[in-house]
Chains A and B, each alone.
Chain A
Amino acid sequence: NAGVMQNPRHLVRRRGQEARLRCSPMKGHSHVYWYRQLPEEGLKFMVYLQKENIIDESGMPKERFSAEFPKEGPSILRIQQVVRGDSAAYFCASSPWTSGGASSYEQYFGPGTRLTVT
């Protein structure tokens, strides 16, 4: 059973370009979370999605950032018009359904995408 997959692992963008980060959850997992990690810091929650639904995006910047988790295919975190301050590691995590329909507490992380904005 493959773990959480993220690609690309490294992404370099010039200021003003768009960055698209992809996340494929573990098989059987329906819940996806995105986190951002700045150097020497902990992870900061950005957004929580289920298939075709954004459940909580309270950690997402209001502008330039968007996320989706379509019925088919990976979850996408999209950053438009990137700036140098967007340089960070972006991690995706997934968790399974519980019998009550809520997300299981255990979250399993992917290897991350390291975004560098030049």
Chain B
Amino acid sequence: GENVEQHPSTLSVQEGDSAVIKCTYSDSASNYFPWYKQELGKGPQLIIDIRSNVGEKKDQRIAVTLNKTAKHFSLHITETQPEDSAVYFCADITGGFKTIFGAGTRLFVKA
């Protein structure tokens, strides 16, 4: 069945450094790849997404890259700040609506 693998499970960086989270997916029909940020006690918040006809997308300090051939996509956060500390989930959409989530990456940004 569909599967999304996410690495690393935990990531600790110094404030100002970059953070990279990587995901792989299995369904070659997937064509939409969102990233969510979840803070403690809250619901996931969509922070950036990419569609399969695009290789890279950037929004201020956040960027996402997609390699459809390798079925890889990555989240890049530059100039990290303490408020970036949260759990980040990658996901893909199959069948137009069914979201398959990765297991999550707990990001710690040390001041």
Contact = CB atoms under 8 A, between A and B. Distances in A.
Given A102-B96, A106-B34, A42 B102 contact: yes
Interface residues of B, number: 24
A110 B43 contact: yes
A103 B100 contact: no
Chain B contact residues: helix, strand, loop or mixed = strand
A89 to B, nearest CB: 9
Contacts of A84: none
Contact of B46 (A6, A56, A106, A111): A106
Interface string A48-71: 100000011010000000000000
Given A42-B103, A42-B104, A91-B43, A48 B89 contact: no
Interface of A: 4, 6, 31, 33, 35, 40-45, 48, 55-56, 58, 91, 95, 102-103, 105-112
